[in-house]
Amino acid sequence: MIRPQRNACRHFADLSGVWRIAFDEDGTADWSHGIPADRAYPIAVPGSWNEQLAEAGFMNFCGAGWLETEVFLPALAPGRTLALYFGSVDYYGEVWLDGEHLGASSAPMLPFEVAVPAHLATGRLARLVVRVDAQLHPDEATQGITQATYAEERRPRDEYLPAVRFDFFPYGGINRPVLLAETPAQGLTGWRAASDLTGVTLAVEASAGATVRALLHDASGGTLSEAPLADGHAELRLEPLVPQLWSPDNPHLYRLDIEVLDATDAVIDAASQHIGLRSFTIDGARFLLNGEPITLKGFGKHEESPLHGRGLNLPQLVKDFHLLKWIGANSVRTSHYPYSEEFLDLADRFGVLVIDEVFSINLDFRRINAATLANHKRAVAELIARDASRTCVIAWSLANEPGYLAEPNYREASTPYWRDLFAHARTLDPTRPMTHANVGYAGNDDPAFAEADFIGMNRYHGWYSNPGQIGAAVEALRHDLDAVAVHGKPVMLLEFGADALAGQHATYDQLFTEEYQERLIAAYWAEIERHPAVAGGHVWNFADFRTAQHGRRVVHNLKGVFTRTREPKMAAWALRRMWGAA
């Protein structure tokens, strides 16, 4: 699957706008030919339905929503084809066009594409209907639960509304753009571009053509390479005369143009991407970028904003990258799911290193089965297929906080699971390091550590344990770091932090104050810099974000160093000083 592009061979129409939605609250409706007019609400796409339609009663709705719009289908010339490309439908999508079923999504939070039958593309308007299901399946890599689950497990104090296993809001809707793409019926089917310090190795797949031609160029010039297609495959190497490397300080990007030629040297298909030349490796307990040691400093984030929910919010996205540079960050983890392709575009452009995370949160090993592992593998495969050619992506995170429920069988059940999953990921991308985000309940001897290339840890001493006691929190953190250092791998503190209500202050160590958040983060960062096994840290979180309702949350998780609307708290200014940006 190739992300839609515009060039001489490919183009697309963006279907963003105000659509219509009706909610199927009992899950039995069939509105594939169109939603009932008397039940329809206007809704902006991309965008989550929750905050948009809160006043209509759907703030906490996690069932099925049916969305529709009209789309113009151009008459196709011979040898051309149409497809509908969905950046993400949360969590599952099914598509009809004029009542004809076209297909469904695959792994949640990732793109999918459905072909438009040629007999429908006759230069006319058609009705596009998308059924969105916002209830996760129980055998997904992030397992879905219901309100009844809390009672079954005798855990009423853990109950969230809506019912979730994670601490962010389960927004439903078409949250990324929908594009109508026109492409050659035969031509490029995909490529993998891998860069190093001297150039780019390119592997191209095509369903037709005789030759692949590629040009790697920037303002100073370019280098051209050609290779014959053999059984639909070609490999090329492109090396600039004077390579310019990509880094956070100098995110230099080349443009890579790929063309497929027929036997007469006519171009039958073309596509392009931007790419930087860089390496990212591990040396003992250190990360090396372009052969030089680098300490990763940055944040876990969320794709989330007022009114939009998880819907793509380009102005906020641009603002966030400017704030990342302002504060001195050089990296982000896509906690806890794949972020939009637009996010990755900006990460490439701004020089922000990305630990790309699969949508797998708090995996409960009491409930795993063969389908769970199969779905987890599918999510890994589709994430790597989408992002493996990205310069900014330096590592893959395969799960966040499995064993969160302290399941007694976690170690026994998870050992073969992690062995299988990590091995699967490495067959798909042997070039990048792999990790996962360990939670304290899973222990400092988490079986996933044996499979990971570096140790990822989430720790909240000073908040969930040792509350208000920074000295004791640092001692507990040091104990954990010493314990995991024996694995002989770099350690990355992937989450640490404290909630702070903007404007709340105290002269002593008081939870929820800006002073306490600042002091705890500073103490952790000092330990990160001191400990020889630690290669970096990500503060949790970049900005405050909405959660499902729970007694421990006042609407939002307040661990952001920026508010939900991006005003800096005291901790943001402190990090700017600590990270050398001030």
Last residue of a domain, one of 119, 149, 183: 183
Say how far apart CA 32 and CA 96 lie, in whole Å: 6
Provide DSSP, 225-239. EEEE-BTTEEEEEE-
Does one domain contain both 83 and 227?
A: no
Q: By percentage, how much of the chain surpasses pLDDT 90?
A: 96
Q: What is the pTM of this model?
A: 0.97
Does one domain contain both 130 and 191?
A: no
Q: What is the mean pLDDT of the chain?
A: 97
Write the CATH number for 519.
3.20.20.80
Does one domain contain both 176 and 254?
A: no
Q: Per residue in 174-215, pLDDT tens?
A: 999 999 999 999 999 999 999 999 999 999 999 999 999 999
Say how far apart CA 135 and CA 160 lie, in whole Å: 14
Last residue of a domain, one of 275, 299, 317: 275
Predicted confidence at residue 40, as pLDDT, reads 98
Last residue of a domain, one of 121, 154, 183: 183
Closest CA relative to residue 306, chosen from 563, 533, 63: 563
Question: At 347, is the pLDDT very low, low, confident or very high (cuts 50, 70, 90)?
Answer: very high
- How do 221-228 and 211-218 pair as beta strands? antiparallel
Does one domain contain both 27 and 89?
A: yes
Q: Per residue in 436-482, pLDDT tens?
A: 999 999 999 999 999 999 999 999 999 999 999 999 999 999 999 99
Does one domain contain both 32 and 175?
A: yes
Predicted confidence at residue 353, as pLDDT, reads 98
Does one domain contain both 487 and 545?
A: yes
Domain interval for residue 498 = 457-582
Total domains in the chain come to 3
Question: At 153, is the pLDDT very low, low, confident or very high (cuts 50, 70, 90)?
Answer: confident
Write the CATH number for 260.
2.60.40.10
Q: Kindly tell me the sign of the dihedral angle through the C-alpha atoms of 132, 189, 268, 7.
A: positive
Question: At 370, is the pLDDT very low, low, confident or very high (cuts 50, 70, 90)?
Answer: very high
Does one domain contain both 179 and 31?
A: yes
Mean pLDDT of 546-551: 93
Count of beta carbons in the 10 Å neighbourhood of residue 319: 15
Judged against a pLDDT cut of 90, whether residue 151 lies above it is answered with: no
Q: Per residue in 377-411, pLDDT tens?
A: 999 999 999 999 999 999 999 999 999 888 889 99
Closest CA relative to residue 274, chosen from 169, 200, 355: 200
Mean pLDDT of 361-365: 95
Predicted confidence at residue 152, as pLDDT, reads 87
305 Rama sector, left if φ>0, alpha if ψ -120 to 50, beta otherwise? beta
Judged against a pLDDT cut of 90, whether residue 141 lies above it is answered with: yes
Q: Per residue in 237-258, pLDDT tens?
A: 999 999 999 999 999 999 999 9
Write the CATH number for 65.
2.60.120.260
Distance set, CA 59 to CA 54, 63, 93, 545 (Å): 4, 11, 20, 15
Q: Per residue in 277-315, pLDDT tens?
A: 999 999 999 999 999 999 999 999 999 999 999 999 999
Judged against a pLDDT cut of 80, whether residue 582 lies above it is answered with: no
Does one domain contain both 129 and 101?
A: yes
Does one domain contain both 260 and 239?
A: yes
Does one domain contain both 490 and 465?
A: yes
Predicted confidence at residue 405, as pLDDT, reads 86
Catalytic residues: 401, 495
Mean pLDDT of 32-43: 97
Q: Per residue in 512-547, pLDDT tens?
A: 999 999 999 999 999 999 999 999 999 999 999 999
Does one domain contain both 31 and 119?
A: yes
Structure tokens at 188: 């490029």
Q: Per residue in 92-139, pLDDT tens?
A: 999 999 999 999 999 999 999 999 999 999 999 999 999 999 999 999
User: Residue 268 falls within a domain, yes or no?
Assistant: yes
User: Residue 393 falls within a domain, yes or no?
Assistant: no
Does one domain contain both 175 and 204?
A: no
